[in-house]
Chain A
């Protein structure tokens, strides 16, 4: 049997034999030599018709606007599934009802791919039918019987959808393969049947009455919003049609015209147009996309119907309903599935030159863009229908997303419903601890710094670098929707969103009130966990219970405040990144011939942009975090003991995602990141050249992002490495502070132009990168200078030390280490105990001095270095001054003594002050920051010297060492003398 695959080079089609011949004759080499884009070659798969940029206006919109039809746009595998599903149903090969019944009522839950395709198509049919009912309900002229009938249908479709969804969930595998997209794609109005099925499943098949009330309420709200949306659309369309009649009526001429003949001719023309359309479809061998609606009216047909309607107006019919009825009676004979709304809409479009003009203009711009690759301001502007500007319509749209959010919340309540009171109590405790930790204003400053410095300042060079890489790795850039190319308008959008005070105020209020912004509600998947609802689900009946629940709600709100305040800070960057990414993605979509009015495309791009926005605020999922979350989920699902353990884990590691991602970002913003980016890009580039790539858009985006970050990171690394004198680096036992010379910066210090950068601010990724590079350099210098080891050993120590220093910032890693260490090491145990004790008292209270340590205790804790002493750093000597082994006992003893000594001296300094730089004794409060730092360093050095000598002994200087030192000193003196002389 011949290979059915077609081969395409550019737009030219080859059979297998022809393609082989082409290759044998060196055609492919010639193709490459001539510089043609090799990615245009499609081998072994059916070509995606290149519909090009003209699809900036969707087929449906084009039809409405009277523009000529185009080839079926490339809609990918999803549409193929749908079309295949339709074929299978229409041909009677598979009955969807039977598949659903089998899955629900027998033990055979599996489906093959064909059945899954059928299910997908069937769900779409049901959804469309349901949407039609909603549209019907929007009609204000319905009689009570008609309304009841439609409401009944709405319920029936809803139930059937519930069944199909449940079957889809139960059938597993293929649901994931072909079904997942359905909810997002075909359900514009958000149909939460999947959630409803999940809720029922969680409750073991029977939803409790009070929850049922809540669900029904939410569903009702959703339906009302949908009906209201449809109603507003109807009203506005009706108004448009009315205006059109008035407009046409003005064109009436006095002379006598044979209207009947005109209409007979037009009807003949219409019939011809319909036949032509059907023939065209048959020739192309494609199924009509109208699905359950039957055929779609072509632009030509719409124009003719509009003309027939206009002719009735000219004849004297000025009542809209009359005109529609007349036309309907004329055409229904040969277009059976046409309805009166189609006729009205055709009338609206009659001679609508302005809309046609706009559409043509957009097409021209798009064509120019396709040719020149330069986006125009309007090229990715979606055509908006009139009703989209209607205030009531917008309000209803918001109601819809609120209903969606409510249903999500019910799901969360359902999930937690099986929890015992003890487990629910644990949820409150965990939330309270977490709130306590998040309430630190240090964390807030850290976040704000990461957002502003990391988000804004970093974006400018990163995008500039990106535009260079777009040229180097054009093939990859073309596949990357968000990171591929840099567009001015996206950057403008970014700035507009970021610096929009109105939106900032609005979102701040909304996040405070509801825990998430409109954007998160609409696109995000994070469910706001309402503890009050989880504790007391459903609507409360007695007054006491109502009051109790209100109290819980207030408590929950207060406990959510710290977390919400973080969200508020992150919101501008998240929003700005989202909109800028969305702009980029839409430009990419139209460049790739996707229909940017298609809900599938919009939804996909929205999701990609939202993911990118989350990445920017360090909320993306990473492997470590995923495992950590899965581990917690497992605990949570394993009864009381598991829940207790989970609460403990949450207590120990209250935040995991953001710190882990910040560290990941620091690594990707570095020469390692660049190396990774270039390696991946080269692999992908080669694959693209050979046309064997299966580079996903997401991967292409990741590569481009990695290249940008890596390059910027390399520059920052160079700055940190060479300018390490201005950066103290992160704390590392490979280069401890006590080994640094006086006047040198300590770890976690940073100085730019003489100004010290506060530690929380240093948490912005670019500054962290600088610090990490400085850490590596400092360790390297320490090893070369002080330990006299080789360059390779020093570099190894630098790499290990800087990575280790960074790792200590990841709670998921560092806390378990501390836990393990505390078993053996009493001082670590003390530290852990202290750490846990502070968790119980909210940070903000500690910082405000309401609870926790006194000022002097804070000062001592902040400056004490005992915890940063490691056993392998210590050197002990016997009484003859010869090295001896450091036992564990000696080590712990030493650390304890250091802590005591330091604390004694630091307290003395706090109480009595210190000698300032002018040689005068000053009270502590009058010392400058530099004077304090210098004195603290001196005190710590003295403490170390004392304890070291007492406990660790001293290395005796041998005679050769004494002589050598003396000679070195002599040379130094001579050099200084000479230098001073020359300087004079």
Chain B
């Protein structure tokens, strides 16, 4: 059997990243369901797309680990209990989560930079993804606040996927 090219720490970091993506995917699904229940179908679609996107990230990690002669562990995903009542609540949670993940990747990258440049090079794309994600959620929140003030929530919901 081929020997893994990943050190113990790098493997652990990648497994954490796998968990993060799956956890996020699960969370977006939960928010999507709640949006549907509240009648915000645009937001429902948005979060479903988000969820699917996280799964592609997850798959990327799996592939990378395979390339490095290793195999990703499938973690236990925590139940999602966050309850939201508005699109704003959901976006706030989204922003917080993306920020967490951004920090998570940043930390991992710093570690990888010293230890394994291949992993570091691979992580660079995720740093960019997360930077954009945090920014995007920030924008969405700002726009939502405006919509809230102008009482255009439904319009916001309708166009959330275009923003």
Are A and B associated in one complex? yes
- Alpha-carbon distance A954/B82, docked complex (angstroms): 8
Task: Given A881-B82, A963-B16, A969-B76, decide whether A956 and B93 contact each other with a Cβ distance below 8 A.
Answer: yes
Does A962 lie within 8 Å of B78, measured CB to CB?
Answer: yes
Task: Given A880-B96, A957-B78, decide whether A962 and B84 contact each other with a Cβ distance below 8 A.
Answer: no
Q: Which residues of B contact A963 (CB under 8 A)?
A: 16, 19-20, 104
Q: CB-defined interface of B92-108 with A at 8 Å, one 1/0 digit per residue?
A: 11011100110110000
Residue of A whose beta carbon sits closest to that of B12 = A967
Q: For B84, give its contact among A879, A958, A959, A969 (CB under 8 Å).
A: A879
- Alpha-carbon distance A49/B81, docked complex (angstroms): 88
* Interface members, chain B 9-44 (any A CB < 8 Å): 16, 19-20, 23
Min CB gap A882→B, angstroms: 8
Q: Does A80 contact B (CB under 8 A)?
A: no
Residue of B whose beta carbon sits closest to that of A882 = B96
Q: Does B132 contact A (CB under 8 A)?
A: no
Min CB gap A195→B, angstroms: 77
Q: Which residues of A contact B95 (CB under 8 A)?
A: 880
* Interface members, chain A 941-959 (any B CB < 8 Å): 949, 954, 956-959
Q: Which residues of A contact B19 (CB under 8 A)?
A: 962-963, 966
Q: Does B110 contact A (CB under 8 A)?
A: no
Interface size bracket, B side: 20 to 34
Does B100 lie within 8 Å of A958, measured CB to CB?
Answer: yes
- Alpha-carbon distance A880/B19, docked complex (angstroms): 22
Does B92 lie within 8 Å of A966, measured CB to CB?
Answer: no
Min CB gap B20→A, angstroms: 6
Does B101 lie within 8 Å of A881, measured CB to CB?
Answer: no
Does B76 lie within 8 Å of A966, measured CB to CB?
Answer: yes
Q: Which residues of B contact A956 (CB under 8 A)?
A: 82, 93, 96
Q: For B20, give its contact among A879, A881, A959 (CB under 8 Å).
A: A959
Does A960 lie within 8 Å of B100, measured CB to CB?
Answer: yes
Q: Which residues of B contact A965 (CB under 8 A)?
A: 78
- Alpha-carbon distance A62/B27, docked complex (angstroms): 102
- Alpha-carbon distance A900/B84, docked complex (angstroms): 25
Q: Does B83 contact A (CB under 8 A)?
A: yes
Does B78 lie within 8 Å of A959, measured CB to CB?
Answer: no
Q: Which residues of B contact A969 (CB under 8 A)?
A: 76
Task: Given A954-B81, A965-B78, A966-B78, decide whether A959 and B101 contact each other with a Cβ distance below 8 A.
Answer: yes
* Interface members, chain A 254-304 (any B CB < 8 Å): none
Does A879 lie within 8 Å of B92, measured CB to CB?
Answer: yes
Q: Does B69 contact A (CB under 8 A)?
A: no
Instruction: State how many residues of chain A have any CB contact under 8 Å with chain B.
Output: 15
Does B82 lie within 8 Å of A960, measured CB to CB?
Answer: no
Min CB gap B61→A, angstroms: 14
Q: For B23, give its contact among A879, A880, A959 (CB under 8 Å).
A: A959
Min CB gap A192→B, angstroms: 79
Q: CB-defined interface of A236-251 with B at 8 Å, one 1/0 digit per residue?
A: 0000000000000000
Q: Which residues of B contact A879 (CB under 8 A)?
A: 84-85, 89, 92
Does B76 lie within 8 Å of A881, measured CB to CB?
Answer: no
Does A962 lie within 8 Å of B82, measured CB to CB?
Answer: no
Q: Does B135 contact A (CB under 8 A)?
A: no
Q: For A949, give its contact among B83, B85, B96, B103 (CB under 8 Å).
A: B83
Min CB gap B8→A, angstroms: 13
Q: Which residues of A contact B81 (CB under 8 A)?
A: 954
- Alpha-carbon distance A769/B75, docked complex (angstroms): 49
Does A960 lie within 8 Å of B78, measured CB to CB?
Answer: no
Residue of A whose beta carbon sits closest to that of B84 = A879
Does A959 lie within 8 Å of B82, measured CB to CB?
Answer: no
- Alpha-carbon distance A966/B82, docked complex (angstroms): 18
Q: Which residues of A contact B96 (CB under 8 A)?
A: 880-881, 956, 958
Residue of B whose beta carbon sits closest to that of A957 = B78
- Alpha-carbon distance A100/B16, docked complex (angstroms): 101
Residue of B whose beta carbon sits closest to that of A961 = B100
Residue of B whose beta carbon sits closest to that of A878 = B92
- Alpha-carbon distance A949/B83, docked complex (angstroms): 9
Q: Which residues of A contact B92 (CB under 8 A)?
A: 879-880
Q: Which residues of A contact B82 (CB under 8 A)?
A: 881, 954, 956
Q: CB-defined interface of A872-894 with B at 8 Å, one 1/0 digit per residue?
A: 00000001110000000000000
Min CB gap B71→A, angstroms: 16
Residue of B whose beta carbon sits closest to that of A949 = B83
Min CB gap A960→B, angstroms: 7
* Interface members, chain A 871-919 (any B CB < 8 Å): 879-881
- Alpha-carbon distance A962/B103, docked complex (angstroms): 14
- Alpha-carbon distance A216/B78, docked complex (angstroms): 90
- Alpha-carbon distance A965/B19, docked complex (angstroms): 12
Does B23 lie within 8 Å of A881, measured CB to CB?
Answer: no
Q: Which residues of A contact B76 (CB under 8 A)?
A: 966, 969
Q: CB-defined interface of A178-191 with B at 8 Å, one 1/0 digit per residue?
A: 00000000000000
Min CB gap A505→B, angstroms: 67
Q: Which residues of A contact B23 (CB under 8 A)?
A: 959, 962
Residue of A whose beta carbon sits closest to that of B90 = A879
Q: Which residues of B contact A962 (CB under 8 A)?
A: 19, 23, 78
- Alpha-carbon distance A637/B103, docked complex (angstroms): 75
Min CB gap A39→B, angstroms: 75
* Interface members, chain B 55-73 (any A CB < 8 Å): none
- Alpha-carbon distance A954/B80, docked complex (angstroms): 12
- Alpha-carbon distance A881/B89, docked complex (angstroms): 10
- Alpha-carbon distance A787/B158, docked complex (angstroms): 46
Q: Which residues of A contact B78 (CB under 8 A)?
A: 957, 962, 965-966
Min CB gap B136→A, angstroms: 17
Min CB gap B19→A, angstroms: 6
- Alpha-carbon distance A806/B19, docked complex (angstroms): 49
Does A959 lie within 8 Å of B93, measured CB to CB?
Answer: no
- Alpha-carbon distance A958/B20, docked complex (angstroms): 10
- Alpha-carbon distance A361/B100, docked complex (angstroms): 96
- Alpha-carbon distance A105/B82, docked complex (angstroms): 91
Min CB gap B28→A, angstroms: 14
Does A959 lie within 8 Å of B89, measured CB to CB?
Answer: no
Min CB gap A962→B, angstroms: 6
- Alpha-carbon distance A966/B12, docked complex (angstroms): 12
Min CB gap A286→B, angstroms: 95
- Alpha-carbon distance A949/B81, docked complex (angstroms): 10
Q: Which residues of A contact B101 (CB under 8 A)?
A: 959
Q: For B104, give its contact among A954, A959, A966 (CB under 8 Å).
A: A959
Q: Which residues of A contact B85 (CB under 8 A)?
A: 879
Does B93 lie within 8 Å of A880, measured CB to CB?
Answer: yes
- Alpha-carbon distance A881/B101, docked complex (angstroms): 16
Min CB gap B78→A, angstroms: 6
- Alpha-carbon distance A954/B83, docked complex (angstroms): 9
Residue of B whose beta carbon sits closest to that of A969 = B76
Q: Which residues of A contact B16 (CB under 8 A)?
A: 963
Q: Which residues of A contact B20 (CB under 8 A)?
A: 959, 963
Residue of B whose beta carbon sits closest to that of A950 = B83
Q: Which residues of B contact A957 (CB under 8 A)?
A: 78
- Alpha-carbon distance A973/B85, docked complex (angstroms): 37
- Alpha-carbon distance A496/B104, docked complex (angstroms): 78
Min CB gap B99→A, angstroms: 9
Q: Which residues of B contact A966 (CB under 8 A)?
A: 19, 75-76, 78
- Alpha-carbon distance A16/B92, docked complex (angstroms): 94
- Alpha-carbon distance A963/B105, docked complex (angstroms): 13
Task: Given A880-B92, A966-B78, decide whether A959 and B83 contact each other with a Cβ distance below 8 A.
Answer: no
Min CB gap B40→A, angstroms: 16
- Alpha-carbon distance A634/B104, docked complex (angstroms): 71
Min CB gap A836→B, angstroms: 41
Q: Which residues of A contact B100 (CB under 8 A)?
A: 958-960
The 9 A-B pairs of least Cβ separation, nearest first, read: A959-B100, A880-B92, A879-B89, A958-B100, A963-B16, A959-B104, A962-B78, A880-B96, A959-B101
12 contacts between A and B (CB under 8 A): A879-B84, A879-B85, A880-B92, A881-B96, A959-B97, A959-B101, A960-B100, A960-B103, A962-B23, A963-B16, A963-B20, A966-B76
* Given A879-B85, A956-B96, A969-B76, 13 other A-B residues pairs in contact with their CB atoms under 8 A: A879-B84, A879-B92, A880-B96, A956-B82, A958-B100, A959-B97, A960-B103, A962-B19, A962-B78, A963-B104, A965-B78, A966-B19, A966-B75
